[in-house]
Each structure stands twice: as structure tokens, then as C-alpha cells.
Amino acid sequence: MTKEPLSVKLLNLNEPFDSITKGKPYNNYMIYIDIGRGERFIQTGKIITHYLTQEIRESCNRMFLLSIIGILGCLVLDNAHAMTLLLRNDIAGIDVLYYLKFSLNHGFYGMFVIPLMAALPYGLCYYRDVRAGITRSVISKTGIKVYCVGKMISTFLSGFLSCACSLGLFSAFICCYRPLFDREVIAEWLGMPFDRLLISGQYMQYLWIRYLLYGVWCGIWCLFALCISSYVQNAYVILASVTVILFVWNIIYNVLDINVAYRPSYWFSCSAGLGSDTVMVIICIQFTLLMLGLSWVIFYRKVRQNLYTG
């Protein structure tokens, strides 16, 4: 295997390349070394891999643990009225799914605060880079597209994992006292997404799907916090905006009396849906891709604008 020969180019920053003459000082020139497409591709891949790995590692910080604790606190506060029922076996329907459903679909903290808590680990990553003054330095090494992709991936994953882990820990705690699902109230769950898993007794599979979908929902809102951070340089405003948008969104739904089957928050909490389970999965994937694309357009354009305008 032979390597391509190195080629050196002199590019003038202030005048055309043809005007370069022998003996002329090259103080205003930049030297570019072309090492061949193959090696450039390998080096670029190493830079991207290293950057993404570093971003994901940084997203698992102390705030990640604080986020999990905060989400657990939200679940407990929403279900405070039913915590005294944990030790009572004479009441039907008090199971793990009851507590999760009440918080995520009817509780104030579950609907409006948990997405905020999920944004704590890395929703402010761009804000912190700007405050530290390292944005230009990092982008000069990775490129603006790689920089934005890295921030979005790490932000989404941190929000997803913090939410999913919290729901799992909360379920494990409730499961110490109550069953995963009480079949006496199975009629209340018929017609909901993935109800066939409950009918067939596959309760853990059903819970995993709920963790996955609601984790994606929180990840989406973490991306919106990231987008807002490119416009606003105030940590409190960035985080509070997530709750405010969710609250206003819910008010609009209620004022317009929109059926819960058309509300994305109910899709991702497995409480309402359109059509079969397969259709629901496709709808959730399409909605997620739409939000990812929208987040990319907003964040990438604003970061590029901030980079050029300084």
C-alpha cells in the first residue's frame, strides 16, 4: 500500500493566488498540506469519534445524579396522596403502573417539571461553553457541524438516560410493596397502546417500552433547552422556558379541547394513541425525527450566526 505524496499549497488571504511571486514575503499566507483523501478521512473520523466520546462522557456529570434525584422527587410529590396506600393490600389497582400513569399524565411535576430536570445534566452545555469562552477554540478543531451534532447527541442521551433511569428506580421502589400490575383493573387499560403486553402478562416488556418512550420525550425537550441556550445566556431562563412552553402547550390543548389521542405527551407515555401498536411506533419515530430536524436547524443556524457575529 503506497501513500499519496504530500502537496503544499500557499493560499493568500488578501489577494488572488496568481499574484504570488518568487521572493515575496508570505506573512499573509496560510499553508495547507494535502495528505490525501484517505488519510484526511481517517484523521477526521478520529477527531469526530474523540469529540463525541468526550461530550458523552462529560454529560455524565454530577448534575446527572442530581437530575435523577430531582425526577424521583417529582414522582414522589405527584403520588404523595397515594404513598400511604403502599402497605395496604385491600385496595385494587394500586400498582406500579398506577403510580407511573398518574404522575406522567395527571401530575403537575410529571407533566411540566420532569423534562426540566432531565435537561439539567447537559441542556446547558452550549451556555457553559460560551460562558467559558471556548466555543471558537472547539469549533476550530472539530468544525461547526461536528460541534453541533456532538452537543445534540450528548444532550439527548443525557436527558433520555436520566429520565429512563429515574423511572426504573421509582418502579423498583414501588415494586417492593406493590405488584407491577394488578389484573383486577385490566379493563381500565384496554384500548391503550401496547395493551396486548398487559393482557399476555408481559409486564416488564410493557414497562421497558414506557421507559424508552418517555425517555425519548424528555430527550426531545432537552434539545429544545439546548436550542434556547443559543439565543439566551441565562441558565434560569433556559431551564424555566422548558416548563413554560410545556405549560402553555397544555393550555392550548385544553382550550381547543384537542383529544388526548392527538397529544404527543400521551403518545410517549403510552396513555393514548392512533391506531395499532405498529402505527403508534411509526408515529413516535416520525415525531422524534421531526423534532430532531427542527432542533438541528435552529441550533446549527444560531451557533453559526453567533460564531460569525462574535
Instruction: Give the pLDDT confidence of 105-156 residue by residue, as tens digits.
Output: 888 999 999 999 999 999 999 999 999 988 988 888 888 998 999 999 999 9
Distance CA 256, CA 14 (A): 59
Model pTM score: 0.81
User: According to the model, what pLDDT value does residue 307 have?
Assistant: 87
Residues of the chain with pLDDT under 50: 1-36
* pLDDT tens digit sequence for 73-95: 999 999 988 888 887 776 777 88
Q: Is 21 helix (H, G, I), strand (E, B) or coil?
A: coil
Distance CA 213, CA 164 (A): 9
Distance CA 99, CA 79 (A): 6
User: According to the model, what pLDDT value does residue 310 have?
Assistant: 64
User: According to the model, what pLDDT value does residue 34 have?
Assistant: 45
Distance CA 160, CA 220 (A): 8
